Structure 1
């Protein structure tokens, strides 16, 4: 499974899906910010909490502090999943 921005094609890879993204940095930041804003309103119909992680993935391509936080969360999640029960 692939997740994140593909630097060669400029598309957002979500598993087997490839979503085209704007080539401009400002466009990607606007889309990421919009997704996070819409995700905070996830209790409304149509909008959903699924937009939060998607916005973070989009923003992590251009903003180093978001990328750092996303990597830390990914490492934490992987270690948590690999921890033996007992």
Structure 2
């Protein structure tokens, strides 16, 4: 698979960090997580949960350090 989920999320984080204002990123992440919880519905999906966590982690420093720490361990 040429583009793994991890690479796609990383590219999304760079795009969001550059184009979305700081306070809106956290709100966007929470909305994505909330919609991912109801992923059994037709339009939304469970893929929104990790994307929402990645977007919210851009504004939450402790969460960002936890995500980066887990990535370095692998």
TM-score, with structure 2 as normaliser: 0.69
- Distance across 2 between alignment mates of 1:70 and 1:54: 12
For structure 1, the 5+ residue unaligned runs are: 14-19, 79-86
- Distance across 2 between alignment mates of 1:52 and 1:46: 14
Cα distance change, pair 50–21 in 1 and its aligned pair in 2 (3 A) = farther
The equivalent of 2:28 in structure 1 is 31
For structure 2, the 5+ residue unaligned runs are: 1-6
Cα distance change, pair 47–61 in 1 and its aligned pair in 2 (3 A) = same
* 1:12 and 2:16 aligned: yes
Query: Does the CA contact (< 8 Å) of 2:33 and 2:52 recur in 1?
Result: yes
- Distance across 1 between alignment mates of 2:37 and 2:66: 18
State the aligned residue count. Answer: 66
* 1:63 and 2:67 aligned: no
The equivalent of 2:51 in structure 1 is 54
Structure with more of its chain in strand, by fraction: 1
Structure with more of its chain in helix, by fraction: 2
Query: Does the CA contact (< 8 Å) of 2:37 and 2:49 recur in 1?
Result: yes
CA RMSD, Structure 1 to Structure 2 (Å):
2.4
User: More relative contact order in 1 or in 2 (CA 8 Å, sep 6+)?
Assistant: 2
TM-score, with structure 1 as normaliser: 0.61
